[in-house]
Amino acid sequence: MMSMADESEEPAVLLEPLKKRAHLSGRPSPSASASASASPSPVSGLHDIEDRILRMTGYYGYYPGCSSHRREEGSESHGDTAASEVSRGRTLCQSCAGAVLKVLSGLLVVLFISSSWVGTTQVVQLTFQSFSCPFFVTWFSTNWNILFFPLYYSGHLVTTREKQSPIQKFRECSRIFGEEGLTLKLFIKRTAPFSILWTLTNYLYLLALRKLTATDVSALYCCHKAFVFLLSWIVLKDRFMGVRIVAAIMAITGIVMMAYADGFHGDSIIGVALAVGSASTSALYKVLFKMFLGSGNLGEAAHFFSTLGFFNLVFISCVPLVLYFTKVEHWGSLSSLPWGYLCGVAGLWLVFNILVNVGVVLTYPILISIGTLLSVPGNAAVDVLKHEVIFSVVRLAATCIICLGFLLLLLPEEWDSVTLRFLAAFADKKPEEHGEELTESSVHTRSRSRANGTVSIPLA
């Protein structure tokens, strides 16, 4: 900060060479030259005066010395611009690398999801060859959901620096049930309907596998996406989309064609009805989850799945016993059960549920849905190569229609506006390219006509 003495003394000294220059005639006198040599140079004095005037008038954006060092500042600003461009380029490269890494991880997750679901379906059919008890398989596999939260907590200990005790983490993830956490009332009120829907979905799916091939059941199960849209539109008042209505109609058409493929025989129509029932209960489960619990993070999802498995173990264990004593599902001694197949089904089912919830965090959600859809061609390949299943034309057409409707349901809500903008940009770009080509051709025509001694004007 400048003092008052400096402000009163420096201008008198700096203005002295200007006064002497005003009294000069044509040639400078020796005294004037001596005084000029003794005083500061006029050029530096002018720059200092300009700096002081700009500072006192409060000129916006002024910094002392800017008038005398404009060239240096220009070089500095050029250096800052170059540095900002380099940093912007690094940020762009990092974002591109992150997007590529996210896509690659998503492709791996898609591969694992489709493989786990195909493996689950095929192992279930192998289990039914020696142990045809679908509800016991459903109950036994659902109990394995209890392992979801311990596995999540193990990953939390490995990947996070700030460690929390299991009880602290459990209470933190209990917020999915409300601000009060998990109470006995909420445990029964919120978990019971979802546990029933979960059991019905899986039980009906396994029943359908006893009537139809794995390809047909997995294709019909993909109709749950259309049912989710219809229920969300009616119950949750989601946005109406014409393309999704078309997709829902395609799904229903595929269901009818699948039932018609075998001429509406007993096993075929029952199997189609069971698979559609499984898709319907799955859609209802997802819509109710969105309505009452909303969307949670990975820890809250792990907490909910473990709570679901615990509820299944405590309250639904009586159902397999009732089915056993009523001879609806009868099995021998515990040692005669195919524990290898049962553990394989339960393990693959748990892996599938974990990958679906973890994949949403690691990659784009649309890739997770595509992974579920890819289970249809995966099961078809296994059925053709291993079981030598021959698909009719009607059944293949129904499967393709259902899969196409599933893909249409994956379109985002703004797909129409994005498509129109893309088409508009493409239409604008095409006339510009046509105009450039026309200009180049006209220049070439004029140059050639001038060489022949004539001038032609193109009609454009």
pLDDT band at 333 (very low <50, low <70, confident <90, very high): confident
A 10 A CB-CB count for 370 gives 18
pLDDT value at 72 more than 80:
no
The Cα–Cα gap between 376 and 391 comes to 13
Burial (CB count within 10 angstroms: exposed 0-12, middle 13-18, buried 19+), residue 12:
exposed
Q: For tokens 């909420």, what's the residue?
A: 186
Q: What is the pTM of this model?
A: 0.72
In tens, the pLDDT along 37-55 reads: 444 444 445 556 656 555 5
pLDDT band at 69 (very low <50, low <70, confident <90, very high): very low
The stretch 170-194 carries a mean pLDDT of 85
In tens, the pLDDT along 401-423 reads: 999 999 998 887 777 667 777 77
Helix, strand, or coil here: 90? helix
pLDDT value at 314 more than 60:
yes
pLDDT given at position 360: 78
CA-to-CA dists, residue 139 to 119, 151, 276, 314, angstroms: 19, 20, 21, 11
Q: What is the amino acid identity at position 73?
A: E
Residues 6+ apart with CB under 8 A from 452: none
pLDDT given at position 83: 65
Residues 6+ apart with CB under 8 A from 188: none
**Percent of the residues in the chain that have a pLDDT greater than 70, as a whole number:** 72
Query: Which of 190, 218, 199 minimizes the C-alpha distance to 142?
Result: 199
pLDDT value at 9 more than 60:
no
The Cα–Cα gap between 405 and 6 comes to 83
pLDDT band at 228 (very low <50, low <70, confident <90, very high): very high
pLDDT given at position 458: 32
Backbone angles phi, psi at 281, to 5 degrees: -65, -35
pLDDT given at position 55: 55
**Percent of the residues in the chain that have a pLDDT greater than 90, as a whole number:** 39
Q: CA gyration radius for the chain?
A: 39
Range of weakest confidence among 31-40, 177-186, 304-313: 31-40
pLDDT given at position 52: 58
The stretch 2-23 carries a mean pLDDT of 40
DSSP 382-444: HHHHTS-----HHHHHHHHHHHHHHHHHTS-TTHHHHHHHHHHHHHHHHHHHHHHHHHHHHHH
Per-residue burial over 405-426, b if 16 or more Cβ lie within 10 Å, else e, is bbebbbbeeeeeeeeeeeeeee
Helix residue ranges, H only, 129-183: 134-143, 148-159, 166-173
The Cα–Cα gap between 39 and 12 comes to 12
Annotated domain spans of the chain? 28-69, 108-413, 428-460
In tens, the pLDDT along 354-404 reads: 998 888 777 778 888 898 899 999 999 999 998 888 888 998 999 999 999
pLDDT value at 457 more than 50:
no
Encode 313-380 in three state secondary structure: HHHCCHHHHHHHHCCCCCCCCHHHCCHHHHHHHHHHHHHHHHHHHHHHHHCCHHHHHHHHHCHHHHHH
Helix, strand, or coil here: 458? coil
Residue with the bigger pLDDT between 457 and 435: it is: 435
The Cα–Cα gap between 440 and 254 comes to 54
In tens, the pLDDT along 131-157 reads: 999 999 999 999 999 999 999 999 888
pLDDT value at 264 more than 50:
yes
pLDDT given at position 450: 42
The stretch 260-283 carries a mean pLDDT of 87
